[in-house]
Amino acid sequence: MLNDSALTDPAPLFAALGDRTRLSLLAKLSDGESRSIAGLSSDTDITRQAVTKHLKVLEDAGLVISKKVGRESQFAFRPEPINDIRAYLDSVSRQWDDALGRLRAFVER
Amino acid sequence: MLNDSALTDPAPLFAALGDRTRLSLLAKLSDGESRSIAGLSSDTDITRQAVTKHLKVLEDAGLVISKKVGRESQFAFRPEPINDIRAYLDSVSRQWDDALGRLRAFVER
DNA sequence: ATGAAATGCAACCATAAAGTTGCATTTTAT
DNA sequence: ATAAAATGCAACTTTATGGTTGCATTTCAT
The pLDDT profile of chain B, 109 residues, written as one tens digit per residue, is 545 555 679 999 999 999 999 999 999 999 999 999 999 999 999 999 999 999 999 999 999 999 999 999 999 999 999 999 999 999 999 998 888 888 788 777 5
Residue A4 has pLDDT above 80, yes or no: no
A5 CA from D14 C1′ (Å): 30
The DSSP output letter for A34 is -
Which of A24, A54, A60, A89 should we substitute to test contact with B (largest number of B Cβ atoms within 10 Å)?
A: A89
Residue A23 has pLDDT above 90, yes or no: yes
CA separation, residue B29 to residues A22, A27, B35 (Å) = 29, 32, 7
The DSSP output letter for A47 is -
Please give, rounded to a whole number of angstroms, the shortest distance from the CA of B61 to a CA of chain A: 12
Which CATH code for domain A11-107? 1.10.10.10
H-assigned helices in B18-108: 20-29, 37-41, 48-60, 80-107
CB-based contact, A101 to chain B, within 8 Å: no
How far is B63 from B3, CA to CA, in rounded Å? 9
Structure confidence by residue, pLDDT tens digits, A39-68: 999 999 999 999 999 999 999 999 999 999
Q: So what's the pLDDT on residue A7?
A: 61
Partners of B74 in the beta sheet?
Answer: B36, B67
Residue B43: phi, psi to the nearest 5? -105, 35
3-state secondary structure of B70: coil
3-state secondary structure of B77: strand
